[in-house]
Chain A
């Protein structure tokens, strides 16, 4: 599937700031699941910083903006051809071993309810377990935008019984790790045709390490594994670590952010 992405993030400051520094995880993963034809990231008045590939295979690009500035626009436009690999991430060059992804972080720290949920899966195989856990989480956390915020933990979302893709991913990661399956948070884009479901084009899901297969994506929010509708940007221990944009401004101004993402497709 040939996908076109337009992703604009606008930061405005109520008073000019002295400078802004950002770290971007905004390039499509170099893997067999997707082929990038054209990809362009611009930052208004921005100065590109260093760039490198990290231990998980993500390309990180630093940016800075010299102040005073009260508005910054990060614009991503690109074109990618995706292929369905049945959810398996193929050909990504990474050096961090799977076992390192068994660690927990604050948003994925399990509580008693998550432990109970994780214990319900009974499949004798790792792949079966991961599918089961994904389904259990989809059942336990209903999709409802606005129910949670960026800082909600997996445990809180489960207690609430509602959440968004970030919460589904955190909960699946927590449960998979409880079953000794390495798991991580993935940021990316999702193409949704007009199926009437209110999914955002900026999307997140989880990957679980299945011995013999590799990293396999699971998207509890959509009850599926990532296919050709998905574009993968990068991964991390949780939503903060895997964020496409991490940044900070110098100065007392308070920041507000607006995001507009559109993913369009042409069938080949």
Chain B
């Protein structure tokens, strides 16, 4: 296991960003640690943050384990990450603006047309419609893993409505409450501006027909039974905007209106946390009870903004992912700062053959899957599991992609027996409106099971506070 990059300890020495954490851990007796852990859990329970991360389903009332050992980036490390993340968010939005317009990248032969236009997430209904500021994905969650001091890879992009940001904020809040001394000993950049930056981002993409100086922004939720409902209400609270369900909104004339006790109030920007298919029964699924009839006509005629734009998902499809570096070169004329994980498409015969011959070494995922379900981690699987998966791929090769098993970095974590390295990933949340903003931080997920490379909460994953140090 020594081949994994440990973000705190390198060749027996503590790496500089973690310098002040060594003493903190050394001086924490086991009893105090247990006490603090219990305190953290009680805090999480009290604020009610018990939803599944990233809409993975599962028991919505289950608490996601919080690991108190923070993950730390130096200012220099973050500087490069930030440039890479913003670059990628710009390229993804340029791609969306292109494929819903003339599709130059396809005409240029850089991406196969069928991959885009026959993609489940491609929405004909928004072709030719230009959203405000030409932004489609306003919150881009980019999942990153690290394999060395300077080696970061993008696992996947989330262009629709990435969740989990409330964990980033709450993890910080709770750490500050429990360990104030850490925050005076370390110069940690704050993340608390996120809700205000999100509100400003959303307000900056008000529709062309909006004349108000302060656009009316709302969050549209499927309702309290949704696994991320806590986050929807949390963000509405923090931004000071209304949290609404489809039934609270209606279309009349050229606009969308919200029912209030003082009568209808016009809505300018909808940060929707419901899927495209359920937005508007007149445009998408006729049986949807969650959406607002007529919403898409208002959107398409410039009466309301929808964030993310319907159809934004075509940029974060796992098969389209392969082409993101190409998007960076094509639209920005730059070399990608963040690398993709090499990916084999089982839809291609030669690549599928390679995958079949190397199943024991690869990670195989469903193209549209999420949450760590329906995937094969070759090195961690039995022969029987591998053979069973082989049949699944044979039956429907188009549905699978494969990637090498990455040597995910580790960060020390509190476990039963003390402190031990555990594998982590990172999801920063890039905001795209009139400007591109990124708060210094993100959500670190940690695979708390020893040796596990799967950080999903449904598979025994937890979360950590993520620090970016000031220079």
Chain B associates with chain A: yes
A-binding segment of B40-48, B125-133, B134-142? B125-133
Interface size, chain A (Cβ < 8 Å): 32
Are B282 and A23 interface neighbours, CB within 8 A?
Answer: yes
Residues from 260 to 297 in B contacting A, C-beta threshold 8 Å = 281-283, 286, 293-294, 296-297
Q: How far is the CB of B315 from chain A (nearest CB, A)?
A: 16
Stretch touching chain B among A97-105, A134-142, A203-211: A97-105
In Å, the complex CA distance between A62 and B100 comes to 22
By CB atoms of chain A within 10 A, which of B106, B128, B296 has the most? Answer: B128
| Residue A95 CB within 8 A of the other chain | yes
Which residues of chain B have C-beta atoms less than 8 A from A17's C-beta? Answer: none
- A42-50, A114-122, A257-265 - interface stretch: A42-50
How far does the alpha carbon of A55 sit from the alpha carbon of B125 in the complex, in Å? 7
| B294 (CB) vs chain A CBs: closest residue | A21
The SS class assigned to the B binding surface is loop
Query: Which residues of B are found within 8 Å of A60, using beta-carbon distances?
Result: 297, 300
From B102, B283, B303, A95 is in contact (CB under 8 Å) with: B102
Q: Is the beta-carbon distance between A95 and B101 smaller than 8 angstroms? A: yes
Q: Which residues of A contact B293 (CB under 8 A)?
A: 21, 248, 250
B298/A49 in contact, CB under 8 A: yes
Mask of B182-224 contacts with A, CB within 8 angstroms, 1/0: 0000000000000000000000000000000000000000000
A55 to B99, CA, bound (A): 11
**Which residues does chain B contribute within 8 Å of A66, judged by CB atoms?**
252
In the complex, which residues of chain B have a beta carbon less than 8 angstroms from the beta carbon of A51?
A: 301
A54 and B300 in contact, given A48-B253, A240-B286 (Cβ under 8 angstroms): yes
B118, B294, B297: the one contacting A103 at CB < 8 Å is: B118
With A96-B127, A97-B113 known to touch, is A62 a contact of B297 (CB < 8 Å)?
Answer: yes
Q: Assess whether A49 is in contact with B129, with CB atoms less than 8 Å apart.
A: no
Q: Which of B122, B281, B301, B303 is in CB contact (< 8 Å) with A248?
A: B281
Contact of B294 (CB < 8 Å), options: A49, A95, A240: A49
Partner of B301, one of A19, A47, A49, A96: A49
Shortest B358–chain A CB gap in Å is 33
Give the distance in Å from the alpha carbon of A62 to the alpha carbon of B251 in the complex.
Answer: 10
Cβ of B117 under 8 Å from chain A: yes
Residues of A within 8 A of B126 (CB): 55
Give me the interface of A with B, judged by CB distance under 8 Å.
19, 21-23, 47-56, 60, 62, 64, 66, 94-97, 99-100, 102-103, 237, 240, 246-248, 250
Interface residues in chain B, defined as those with a beta carbon under 8 Å from any beta carbon in chain A: 100-103, 106, 113-114, 117-118, 122, 124-129, 250-254, 281-283, 286, 293-294, 296-298, 300-303
Q: Which 9 A-B pairs have CB atoms at the shortest separation, nearest pair first?
A: A50-B301, A55-B127, A21-B294, A62-B297, A100-B117, A55-B128, A95-B128, A248-B293, A52-B301
